[in-house]
Amino acid sequence: MAAGNFGFAGIVTEKLTEENYENWKECLKSYFKAQGLWDVVTGKEAKPEDEDETSPKYENWMRKNAMALHAIQVSCGADIMSKLRGHESAMFEWQLLAEKSYLPVAEGKYYQVPREVTSEITEYWTLYKAVEQGDWNTARDFIRNKPDSVRAKITFNGDRALHIAVMAEQINILKNLIKIMLPQDLELQNEMGYTAFSIAAINGFQEMADKMLNKNPELVKVKDYRGQIPIVVASLYSSKEMVRYLYKKTPHEMLSPENPDRSGATLLNCLINDEIFGKFIFFPI
């Protein structure tokens, strides 16, 4: 399966650790410059506070900030991501990581994690690694012994096994997980407010999205922590083919100008910026 514009492995060569910060920083810096996001990350292009939220200038800045924020977050390990959640500024997170305030503690150093959190997460380590590595036999045996683990939080970021399957691009694991999950299980969100379906939408993983949508068609309506539905999230990250796909699956009344949540307005602005409005998408009037 081909990864989308924001494939998790396509931004940096390896996720951030305490030892690789300098290499990680240079990889991301090059990525930001190539994508036209560097000025937002450094603060040179500041948030247009004096602009109306519906203005193209404001929407364009929000889109760039979201793209940079996502790149930072998916380039970090789950332990760092769990500490970054709640911040909505790419510049703030970039500066925070530069100070190394949130880096993992090196082996041998003391760092106190709440006991209940540690035991809860380490309990699912075997399942996490099995899903990440595509080992369905081990994952299946673990779930048989602990049936509720299929919907349990297995990382500090609150990811479920299905989230990990998407992030690791393990399509066969995903298919098998979907078979044993209830439709409503697919709507479970991590601590950043993302369903596994939203992560697939961001990365352009259409085959995965299709499998999940067949199980639960309501996934196109589930909003993330910013109140955005999947097609809007996909458009913010320029996942053009995913937007095309989701436009056919999303109820058009959700994109109507009369809808007070501004999903249609945000989507329209992204499509115009990407120069694809009118080519395959026409808004309902």
Which residue carries 């053009």 as its tokens?
Answer: 240
pLDDT in tens, the chain (285 residues): 433 333 344 576 677 876 788 888 888 888 888 888 999 998 889 888 777 777 888 888 888 888 888 888 778 766 666 556 556 788 888 887 876 644 444 433 333 334 444 456 678 889 988 998 999 999 999 999 999 999 999 887 788 999 999 988 899 999 999 999 999 999 999 877 889 999 898 888 999 999 999 999 999 999 887 778 888 878 777 777 888 898 889 888 776 666 666 655 566 565 555 555 454 444 443
* pTM assigned to the model: 0.61
- The CA dihedral of 252, 254, 259, 263, to the nearest 10 degrees, is -110
Q: Judge if 112-181 and 189-284 fold alike in CATH terms.
A: yes
How do the domains of the chain map onto residue ranges?
20-99, 112-181, 189-284
Residues whose CB is less than 8 angstroms from the CB of residue 285 and which lie 6 or more positions away in sequence, other chains included: none
C-alpha count within 13 angstroms, C-beta hemisphere, residue 165: 29
The CATH code for residues 112-181 is 1.25.40.20
CA dihedral sign of residues 115, 102, 157, 3: negative
Q: Are 165 and 177 in contact (CB under 8 A)?
A: yes
The CATH code for residues 189-284 is 1.25.40.20
